Amino acid sequence: MESRKNGFTLIELLVVVAIIAVLVSILLPALSRARESARQIVCAAHERQLLSGILYYAQENGDKIAHYALPQEWPVHAGTNYNHWNKYILPYINETEQQYLDGQGGLLKGCPSDNKYGWNGWVQHFDVSYSYSNAFRKPYINSFSDLFVPIAMIADPTKTPIFCDGKFSPVYTHMPGITRFDFRHNGGANVSFADGHVNYLIANKILDLPWNTFADISE
Ligand SMILES: [Zn+2]
């Protein structure tokens, strides 16, 4: 039999191509998970800065976190223009109102895995990349000015979330229901807690947190 000195047969070449294809198909999901983990870390850093802004705001406002949204015309409860929580904390995250309106701010862009990241349209409305808790509100809303309870009255700030990765909902609501969470970081999300820490949690753990439990306080 004549021996070959150089080159591959077509079969050998096809086998090599097939092996490479299998390797790529194994490696690509791992690479995509790694890329997502990197984005999750950037997101957590953004959340830490937003969270410290929220807590600084509370320090200067009777220990109460910023409202989710209030009519700009408040106390006249009319009109369709609302200020959202992200606007109240601008001075505490060193961001100007013009940056906020232009969508130029670094922090208010939020989560790098959010589809709307960097799209100016969402920056000044609703809650950036994040869903905001309802747990700091009183059960009965008699007046907006008296809507939120002090953080000190929350039973366990280490387990009480303020916000986490979320997404825009076409249904206007204060309630960050399940449809407003977004488990875009490998099946989980970054959660910011009332004691000032940020933690990555998987979906089931996040759903167990007291998001919509109205603050249980005796008046
Ligand atoms: Zn995120």
Query: Each residue of 101-133: pLDDT tens digit?
Result: 665 555 566 788 886 644 333 334 444 678 777
Global pTM reads 0.76
Higher pLDDT, 107 or 45: 45
Tell me how far the alpha carbon of residue 190 lies from the centroid of ligand 1, in angstroms: 6
**117 vs 3, 54, 84, 111, 191, CA distance in Å?**
61, 21, 18, 6, 18
Tell me how far the alpha carbon of residue 24 lies from the centroid of ligand 1, in angstroms: 27
**Most confident by average pLDDT, 17-31, 108-122, 202-216:** 17-31
Q: Alpha-carbon distance 46 to 53, whole Å?
A: 11
Tell me how far the alpha carbon of residue 175 lies from the centroid of ligand 1, in angstroms: 19
